[in-house]
Structure 1
Amino acid sequence: MAAPQTVEFTSMALLTHLLACVFGTGSWAALNGLWVELPLLVTELPEQWYLPSYITIIIQLANVGPLLVTLLHRFKPGLLSEVAIIYGVVAVGALACLLLAFLWGFTSPVAGEPHSTAFFGLAFCLALVDCTSSVTFLPFMARLQPRYVTTFFVGEGLSGFLPALIALAQGAGIARCVNITRITNVTTGNNTAEGSQFQMETQYLPANFSTLVFFLLLAAMMVICLVAFFFLTRLNITLHSLQEIPGDGPRLSGGGDSPRREKPASSDKGFHRADPEIAYSLAKFAFIYLLVAWVNSLTNGILPSVQAYSCLPYGNMAYHLSATLSSMANPLACTIAMFLPSRSLALLGVLSVAGTGFGAYNMAMAVMSPCPLLQHSAWGHAIIVISWVFFTGSLSYVKVMTGVILRSQSHSALVWYGAVEQLGSLTGALIMFPLVNVYSFFRSADYCSLQCPA
């Protein structure tokens, strides 16, 4: 008699995994879409290769959203419903993507120079949505059994993978070098003769489909995320999966609460077992949150600002592949974390150091632009792409596992996870913006017209 119930439970559990994954895709899909579309946008918008640093600082300005949610959670718990906030931010994200499809190229003069005012304004709306998701989506998932949290992280990784796939199909920013012959007038004494001058120039190939279609597809992803969340909150399996979460866990405010421990749920059968009964000392909590801040400062603030500078000297194809394949490394790392989870803080520390090393190489190539190492070698092209992939993949694994660890402690720990995540991102962006936009520390490169020694 128990077999039909077991089959029904399994099918509902799989459906909940699917909904949790689709829900996770809406967390950062919009902003990830902006990043992978950059190779095309920079050829059309007046900011050109300064555009990544502008986007980075806009994202950090949007941290007012998670800051407000975190403060309300701390001082006015229960005032705002997480469910209502999620409905609101996802709906705003879908609307902003829809408007971006039609208004992204609109410019207006600012201080006498044309700027992408519509693009920046809508990008801020998308950043507000995605940044706020850090302190709302994951705390909501903490209401479910632990196995669904890892599935959510897979969906969060897909929020970069799916836009990257669309960008690959679009062929955004693919270029070739063309030999251009220019006719010049040469004056010798009283005689003027025509001469020819040969020059290599970059010619961008037309995309397979327009930016309008790309942003419409992003809007569709946000709508699908909204629908998945609607059903996720109403499935019977969700109601049956709700469990007691330690209420106040570790607080960064210095309160007297000690880390709580969660008992394993005997019914939790899935990709991996329920969270083990582990208590962490204050020093270990400080180390975990330090990892969260450092990893996110690198992946969300520091390195994205210089990806163009580190890759473009190797050619547009190298930049295109590094942007798309590194986005694909994120969900791959989340999938690995699902089947091979490790809560070893030593391992997470080692992976953080390794990811920092890859990030340091990427930064060094950006500093050396327009003439980085191995520029004229196929090895140089391959290494810069591989470095970006491993940088993203290793640090993505760290982000997933720190989230899983904090999930086992309390709902409040996950809210602080989101807050520290955004704080790290903000710090990285504030460091990089003046270096890129004010002091022009990095030099852009046109691969076809470079004059570097072989």
Structure 2
Amino acid sequence: MTADTRSSAADNSLQLYSQEQEKPTSNMSLLTHLLACLFGMGSWISINGLWVELPLIVPQIPEGWYLPSYLSVLIQMANIGPLFVTLMHRFRPGALNETAVIYVIVVLGTVASFLLGFFWKETVVIAGVPRSVALLLLTFFLSAVDCTSSVTFLPFMMRLKPQYLTTYYIGEGVSGLLPAIVALIQGVGVVHCINSTQSLNASNISATFDLQAQYQPANFSAEVFFFFLSAMMVVCLVAFLLLNYHPSVAREHPSGRYTNGVKEKPQKNRKWAEQTLMMDPYRPANKKRSSFGTGSYSWVQVIYIFVILAWVNALTNVVLPSVQSYSCLPYGNNAYHLSATMAAVSNPLACFIALFLPIRSLLLMGALTLIGSGVGAYIMTIAVLSPCPLLVHDTSGGVIIVLAWVLFVLILSYVKVIIGVILRDEGHSALVWCGAVVQLGSLLGAVTMFPVVSVYSFFSSGDPCNTKCP
């Protein structure tokens, strides 16, 4: 082959790569981005929705505010789903039909959310004590669905081009944002402080005036909210069907490797795929250094990536959310609701930023993790000091805690997306392990925080109407 011929071939490869990067601007790519987003939205919307509905559910069930502790245990028990899928991929690769599993869990999530609308208040007397058996059982099924999505939805995204993985993460962020917005419209947890007169002696000669927190009635019932969650799972199911069977979406499969959910042999386009990977400026040098994935990373780097992934998910999924009320309520109910809403917005915003700035530097990843963890340490300190944290009587205290929650979620959500992009390039099994480590990090976080918050009552909650501090 002459030099001119090699130059022409290189130019053609660059042209193909350039065209591949420009495809997202087409209408068909926009449709695929939308479907990937809606598919990702179904990953955690059920459990996220259940958490934001707690202020409306808790007063009407016998478990009361012990319910969040029960939910934490049920969610961790539901990790049997991702454990089974991970073990099957490890010891029986190819034996598990990934597409069938996704169909099963999405349909199960749809049915469980729908049934919650009818049975969440129903109780059964066990050992002389009424228990919300239906609510707890259906919550376990929803937890199994959402936990298993971590090890099935992500690997499925291997069937689409890399840019759609970031869109999937945007949808995953929306799974927390959308229920929060609907709950705000519903008016969940809105408090009004009213005067309450208390007598100091029997003759009622003197009295003291105090403020009492009174929760505003919701604009619509919990039943309607659960039917909304069920409808969103139906949307996820329709998006998944179109991603599998829409003939135009098949064009978005890399190198035509998948058609109607069936993997094809990629030999004819393997050389082109290797050329595009070599031209990726963010990818490490193509020197095989380990047996993990493509071998682009050493085992030390692989362990480093997974440790950060577990740490970040432990913080964002369990550790800090479990103390959010303690960190915010001392500054007022508005600070609490604003921090919850803005944090929910920060998650998809971080994914959107990663769509245009997919920087895969391991050094940057570590630096951002340290910064995000530092902000998280400030939030945890405020929660420990509750109900009398720093600047409790100052407006700046509420502003700082809201900004801290926004930065915390924004930074660490970006880290999670970048790790997902890195592992996506390492292949299908890498994304399976990605989902497994996400659940492992969440499990470790729950095991750590459950006894601290629920058993030993280490944190003290602030009264939204009567915070009395020196």
For normalisation by structure 2, the TM-score amounts to 0.84
The SS at the match of 1:176 is: strand
Matches within 5 A, 1:348-363: 348-363=365-380
Task: Name 2:81's counterpart in structure 1.
Answer: 65
Shift of residue 113, structure 1, vs aligned partner:
5.6
The SS at the match of 2:26 is: helix
In 1: Cα distance, 2:62 partner to 2:377 partner: 30
Specify which of 370, 376, 396 is matched with residue 379 of structure 1.
Answer: 396
Task: Name 1:199's counterpart in structure 2.
Answer: 210
Whichever residue aligns with residue 114 of structure 2, its letter is: L
Whichever residue aligns with residue 217 of structure 1, its letter is: F
The SS at the match of 2:196 is: strand
Whichever residue aligns with residue 226 of structure 1, its letter is: L
Is the 1:262–1:408 contact (alpha carbons within 8 Å) kept by the matching residues of 2?
A: no
Matches within 5 A, 1:102-121: 102-108=118-124, 115-121=131-137
Whichever residue aligns with residue 305 of structure 2, its letter is: I
Task: Name 2:106's counterpart in structure 1.
Answer: 90
Structure 1 residues 444 and 105, CA, compared in 2 at 3 Å: closer, same or farther?
farther
Shift of residue 100, structure 1, vs aligned partner:
1.7
1:361-398 deviations in Å (ceiling 9; x for gaps) = 12112211222211111111111122112111111111
Matched, 1:18 2:34: yes
Unaligned runs of 5+ in 2: 1-21, 258-271, 287-295
Whichever residue aligns with residue 47 of structure 2, its letter is: L
In 2: Cα distance, 1:115 partner to 1:435 partner: 25
Segment of structure 1 superposing worse, 110-119 or 387-396 = 110-119
Structure 1 residues 308 and 116, CA, compared in 2 at 3 Å: closer, same or farther?
farther
Structure 1 runs (4+) deviating above 6 angstroms are 6-9, 272-277
Matched, 1:217 2:228: yes
Shift of residue 333, structure 1, vs aligned partner:
0.5
Matched, 1:447 2:458: no
Specify which of 147, 150, 156 is matched with residue 134 of structure 1.
Answer: 150
Task: Name 1:254's counterpart in structure 2.
Answer: none
Matched, 1:281 2:298: yes
Is the 1:56–1:305 contact (alpha carbons within 8 Å) kept by the matching residues of 2?
A: no
Whichever residue aligns with residue 57 of structure 1, its letter is: V
Shift of residue 328, structure 1, vs aligned partner:
1.3
Say which structure, 1 or 2, has more relative contact order (CA 8 Å, 6+ apart). Answer: 1
Whichever residue aligns with residue 243 of structure 2, its letter is: L
The SS at the match of 2:389 is: coil
Matched, 1:122 2:138: yes
Segment of structure 1 superposing worse, 134-143 or 155-164 = 155-164
Report the count of equivalent residues.
Answer: 425
In 1: Cα distance, 2:233 partner to 2:427 partner: 28
In 2: Cα distance, 1:198 partner to 1:9 partner: 63
Is the 1:264–1:274 contact (alpha carbons within 8 Å) kept by the matching residues of 2?
A: no
In 1: Cα distance, 2:318 partner to 2:215 partner: 28
Is the 1:149–1:404 contact (alpha carbons within 8 Å) kept by the matching residues of 2?
A: yes
The SS at the match of 2:274 is: coil
Shift of residue 178, structure 1, vs aligned partner:
1.0
Structure 1 residues 262 and 415, CA, compared in 2 at 3 Å: closer, same or farther?
farther
1:153-193 deviations in Å (ceiling 9; x for gaps) = 1111111121122122222101021111235652xxxxx55
1:124-160 deviations in Å (ceiling 9; x for gaps) = 1111111100000010111211111111111111111
Structure 1 residues 327 and 50, CA, compared in 2 at 3 Å: closer, same or farther?
farther
Matches within 5 A, 1:156-235: 156-183=172-199, 185-186=201-202, 192=203, 195-235=206-246
Segment of structure 1 superposing worse, 216-225 or 37-46 = 37-46
Whichever residue aligns with residue 87 of structure 2, its letter is: L
Task: Name 1:370's counterpart in structure 2.
Answer: 387
Is the 1:300–1:425 contact (alpha carbons within 8 Å) kept by the matching residues of 2?
A: yes
Shift of residue 114, structure 1, vs aligned partner:
5.1
Matched, 1:145 2:161: yes
User: Identity across aligned pairs (percent)?
Assistant: 56
C-alpha RMSD of the superposition: 2.7
Structure 1 residues 277 and 193, CA, compared in 2 at 3 Å: closer, same or farther?
closer
Specify which of 85, 88, 96 is matched with residue 80 of structure 1.
Answer: 96
Shift of residue 336, structure 1, vs aligned partner:
0.4
Is the 1:352–1:398 contact (alpha carbons within 8 Å) kept by the matching residues of 2?
A: yes
Structure 1 residues 152 and 238, CA, compared in 2 at 3 Å: closer, same or farther?
same
Structure 1 residues 113 and 91, CA, compared in 2 at 3 Å: closer, same or farther?
same
Task: Name 1:155's counterpart in structure 2.
Answer: 171
In 2: Cα distance, 1:25 partner to 1:277 partner: 34
Whichever residue aligns with residue 176 of structure 2, its letter is: G
For normalisation by structure 1, the TM-score amounts to 0.86
Task: Name 2:289's counterpart in structure 1.
Answer: none
Task: Name 1:305's counterpart in structure 2.
Answer: 322
Matched, 1:416 2:427: no
Matches within 5 A, 1:422-441: 422-441=439-458
Segment of structure 1 superposing worse, 236-245 or 346-355 = 236-245
Specify which of 400, 414, 422 is matched with residue 405 of structure 1.
Answer: 422
